[in-house]
Amino acid sequence: MTSIAKGMTGLALVFMNWTTAPLLEGALAQKQSELFLAKALDLNARTLALAEKAVSNATRPEVKKFAQQMVDDHKQVEKDLLALASDTKIGVVTGLSSEHREALSKLTALKGDDFDRAFLTHMVRNHQEGIKLFETEGLKQAHEPCRAMADRLLPHMRKHLKEAQSLGGAASAGR
């Protein structure tokens, strides 16, 4: 290959990198947003399904009240996350995985104080997991609407975690 041909090849590669880099960065940011929203929706669906069961199955009135608050708050979060996914043209799958359906089934089999403790333990763990997800992935999103959503929801998640812990979920969750 002649030196002119080598130079032209090198110039073409530089030009290609310069012109395609923004496309690749955009595709990477889109994929990161997809993964973040998928994880957030999965975690939210899990929390919502458990809370819906607890509204009818919890024994202690304060646990029932907390469960209803979780249902109300997490239904709104679901709407917000799905709207964000739709607005940004991100495809997501909703519903519970088989693993989470099994956990819900085990929880439903419990009665009385055992149910209340297990529900609160799940709420502590779910909110700890959610806080970690939103802090490590949500706040670092290149996609500003995802970052803003994470920033807006984190204080609510921390509040829910404290409430679940104060109701008795902390000891059961290994804290």
Sequence-separated (6 or more) residues with CB below 8 Å from residue 69: 163
* Residue 164 predicted with pLDDT over 80: yes
d(C-alpha 8, C-alpha 16), whole Å: 12
What is the reported pLDDT for 66?
Answer: 98
d(C-alpha 98, C-alpha 74), whole Å: 20
pLDDT per residue as tens digits for the range 22-74: 445 556 666 788 888 889 999 999 999 999 999 999 999 999 999 999 999 99
Burial class (CB in 10 A: 0-12, 13-18, 19+), 39: middle
User: What's the angle, vertex CA 63, arms to CA 155 and CA 48, rounded to 5?
Assistant: 60
pLDDT per residue as tens digits for the range 94-121: 667 777 788 888 888 899 999 999 999 9
Q: Is the pTM of this model over 0.85?
A: no
State the DSSP code for 94: -
State the DSSP code for 142: S
Phi, psi of 118, rounded to the nearest 5 degrees: -65, -40
Say how far residue 128 (Cα) sits from the centre of its chain.
11
What is the reported pLDDT for 26?
Answer: 56
The domains found in the chain, sorted by start residue, are 30-172 (1.20.1260.10)
